[in-house]
Structure 1
């Protein structure tokens, strides 16, 4: 069985672009949630900031994540945010360490 993929993507908006970034990412959520293999796609903001956004993602497989990254929604988001982000998203992939309650102890 293929292992799920968990990652956190951090995006930093350029000054004055925070609203555009939030609006673009929020609008993409329902479309991404409908993609095959999307198990979690949750937008957060770093506490105490206005322009640091984190997307916590969980995909059923590396193939599902790959399809998402190459899909129409991400192309649209990339085009909309090309000039609004301070740099490329920082993507951190996570390896689970199973311990304790399987539901509470894992993303």
Structure 2
């Protein structure tokens, strides 16, 4: 069972949420090549359109580490910061409970 997750909260400058979300989502092809990344979601808040959440699930802490230094993270951190109102909040996490995706 997957036990390691990552949550990254991006707060875009006013009106830049859609573009920031698109730039984050553009990293999907790189993520698809990562064997240890089990799930990768880019979510744009309905309550605050300038807030984007990146949620990912990994098969190990080592896979999380590899992801954070890999091509997808490099791409995101090279293209998104200019649109942000604040530094991204990184939250490495432990999965407490989950329902498998169907």
Normalising by the residue count of structure 1, what TM-score does the alignment of the two structures yield? Answer: 0.78
Give 1:73 shift: 2.1
Q: Which structure has the greater CA radius of gyration?
A: 1
Contact 1:32 1:38 in 2 (8 A): yes
Count of residues in Structure 1 that have an aligned counterpart in Structure 2: 101
2:23 & 2:50 partners in 1: Cα distance?
13
SS at match of 2:43: strand
Point out 4+ residue stretches in structure 1 off by more than 6 angstroms.
Answer: none
Question: What's the C-alpha RMSD, in Å, of the aligned pairs?
Answer: 2.4
Aligned to 1:38: 37
State whether residues 21 and 44 of structure 2, in contact with CA within 8 Å, keep that contact through their aligned partners in structure 1: no
1:104 aligns with 2:75: no
Preserved CA contact (<8 Å) 2:3 2:94: no
Gaps of 5+ in 2: none
